[in-house]
Amino acid sequence: MIVSLFVFAVIVLLSIPSAIVFIPLAVLSGNVNPLYRVANAIVRVGFRAAGIRLKIEGRERVPKDKACIFMANHVSNLDPPSLVSSLPGRTSVFLKKSLMKLPVLGYCFKLGNFIPVERAGGAEKAQSSIAKAVEVLRQGLHITTFVEGTRSRDGRMLPFKKGPFYLAMQSGAPCIPVSIYGTETLMAKGSFGIKPGTAHVVFHAPIDPANYSTREQLMAAVRASIASGLPEWMRA
């Protein structure tokens, strides 16, 4: 817990002056890129303060100058910062619609082309989110999603949600499977404690949705790719 408090203090001390400078800059200029880069830099400093080493493999497999959908497994709250800070280029993510209404920060989310989602909105709202995501990809931004929809309690892979695969089939964007492991011991689900160690992020070869006739076939291919980069016990 001492490590967690120290990391939290480091992030807060860096975030406050950064927010004072870069959030107004983003609002006034309409350019969220400096804020995005600073946020990722703070994440990397926080990881170093926690004694967490990021081991990245396969990033050279990501197509250059092409918007992709990154599809990862999810075992810890450390997964999003581990993955997003490791990506080449800027990414959008799916976000609760209520967060888009926050003062100032919500406006920055909109500038960042984050995609609002209403979990209880039904099929019509879901299709609206997919349409927004397709538009984001066409603008050249990546999209990052954790395809299980929630963190696994024991590290083993859960069933995948259908939404990301609807998006892939509709947009035709390359799917980049990503295997994340190690984080399940560094910050377990249900715990605020952070332990030092190594977080592994493995990027796999792109999967072209056009090569699959159904969403289920694409889902199976992505699942097999993610599983191939995980320790055996996590593949169930």
* 172 sits in which H/E element: none
Strand ranges inside the chain, DSSP E: 52-57, 69-72, 91-96, 115-117, 142-146, 175-181, 197-203
pLDDT in tens, 50-67: 999 999 999 999 999 899
Residue 104 has pLDDT above 80, yes or no: no
Residue 108 has pLDDT above 70, yes or no: yes
pLDDT of residue 200: 98
pLDDT in tens, 199-225: 999 999 999 999 999 999 999 999 999
Instruction: Judge whether 136 and 143 are in contact, CB under 8 Å.
Output: yes
Task: Output the average pLDDT for the chain.
Answer: 92
Residue 7 has pLDDT above 70, yes or no: yes
Q: Which residues contact 148 (CB under 8 A, 6 or more apart)?
A: 73, 74, 157, 158, 159, 160, 161
- Owner of token pair 């997919």: 130
pLDDT in tens, 66-84: 999 999 999 999 999 999 9
Q: What percent of the chain has pLDDT over 70?
A: 98
User: Count of CB atoms within 10 A of residue 179's CB?
Assistant: 23
Joined together, the tokens standing for residue 60 give 């050279």
Q: What percent of the chain has pLDDT over 90?
A: 74
The residue among 218 and 100 whose pLDDT is bigger is 218
Residue 119 has pLDDT above 90, yes or no: no
Q: Which pLDDT band, with edges at 50, 70 and 90, does 121 fall under?
A: low
Packed helices 2-29 and 33-50: angle between N→C axes, nearest 10 degrees: 170
Which DSSP symbol is given to 205? P
Separation in Å, CA 86 to CA 68, 89, 121, 214: 14, 9, 32, 30
Task: For the chain, give every domain's residue range.
Answer: 53-234
Q: What is the pTM of this model?
A: 0.93
Architecture of the domain delimited by 53-234: 3-Layer(aba) Sandwich (3.40)
- Please state the φ and ψ torsions of residue 143, each to the nearest 5 degrees: -125, 135
